[in-house]
Amino acid sequence: MTSISDKRNKKKIEHIAIIMDGNGRWAKSRGLPRIFGHRAGVKSVERTVRAAKELDIPYISLYAFSTENWKRPKIEIVGLMGLFRYYIKAKIDEICKEEARMRFAGNIKGLPEDIQRIIEDTEDRTKCYDKRQLIICLNYGGRQEIIDAVNSIIEDGTSAPITEDILREHLYLNDVPDPDLIIRTSGELRLSNFWLWQSSYSEFYFTNKYWPDFGKEDLEQAISAYYGRDRRYGKA
């Protein structure tokens, strides 16, 4: 059997993006409030980030809170914001030890002020690391990102014609490679406004597992499926 590292010689996977779905159903199936699903989801984040390091994946991005998630009940939003605070603060030392750069994508100014400060501090403390990046998409929406890019091009006074390269330069994290692989858990088969521009040629992997049940083996299976694909980028 070909191992993941053998397959890597064929074409290297750089960026894996994950839509972490199914926390609410995971909790419901256990008769628990939804926030318990999100808490279990944090453990899954930790497992997956560790696994990605072991599997030598340089970029991992996680869809943690979308621009549409504000429509959820207030109690759930407050609980989620509490988890983001806790996770970022509690993990910063560990992330520094592992020499990973932690970055955030989204409308950060729309988040509570203390979270904005935590984000600034975390990005600042980890910006010296260049081996691996963990990207948390918070208050992120793909359409909003494209609108923000267009507005920033206008503010720069750039005149037409606007090219693909110009638009890309104005995205939130313009130096991050497009995701090679996008994983979505919980059996839903949608992109849900995630990395709209960047996902043009991404491969997709869907699993029925709820996010809190996702682990290293699942990540390996997704990577294996990716290496079995033929990426032609429009060529014959």
Cβ 155 to ligand FPP shortest distance, Å: 30
Structure tokens at 107: 């409308």
Instruction: Pinpoint the alpha helices (H) of 58-206.
Output: 74-97, 113-126, 142-155, 164-169
d(CA 25, CA 31) in angstroms, rounded, equals 10
Beta-strand pair 15-19/59-66: parallel
Minimum gap (Å) between residue 157 Cβ and ligand FPP: 37
Residue of 13, 17, 36, 84 that binds ligand FPP (CB under 6 A) = 84
Q: Does 48 bind ligand FPP (CB under 6 A)?
A: no
**Exactly one of 17, 18, 35, 42 binds ligand FPP (CB under 6 A); which one?**
42
* 3-class secondary-structure state, position 168: helix
User: Catalytic pick from 6, 23, 56, 69?
Assistant: 69
Concerning whether 107 is annotated as a catalytic residue, the answer is no
CB 148 within 8 A of CB 172: yes
Q: Is 25 in the site for ligand FPP (CB under 6 A)?
A: yes
Stretch that binds ligand FPP, among 22-30, 105-113, 140-148, 191-199 (CB under 6 A): 22-30
Among 77, 83, 153, 225, binds ligand FPP (CB under 6 A): 83
* Cα dist from 234 to 108, 163, 164, 229, whole Å: 35, 19, 17, 14
Angle value at C-alpha 118, between 113 and 14, nearest 5 degrees: 120
- Per CB under 6 A, contacts with ligand FPP among 187-226 are 211
- Please tell me the distance from the alpha carbon of residue 162 to that of residue 115, in angstroms, as a whole number: 34
Out of 13, 16, 18, 45, the residue judged to bind ligand FPP by CB under 6 A: 45
- Residues binding ligand FPP: number (CB under 6 A): 19
User: Is residue 16 at the binding interface for ligand FPP, with CB under 6 A as the rule?
Assistant: no
Q: What angle do CA 182, 187, 192 make, to 5 degrees?
A: 55
Q: Is 69 a catalytic residue?
A: yes
CB nearer ligand FPP, residue 132 or residue 170: 132
Residues in touch with ligand FPP (CB under 6 A): 20-25, 38, 41-42, 45, 62, 64, 69, 83-84, 87, 136, 186, 211
Task: Report, as residue numbers or ranges, the catalytic residues.
Answer: 21, 69
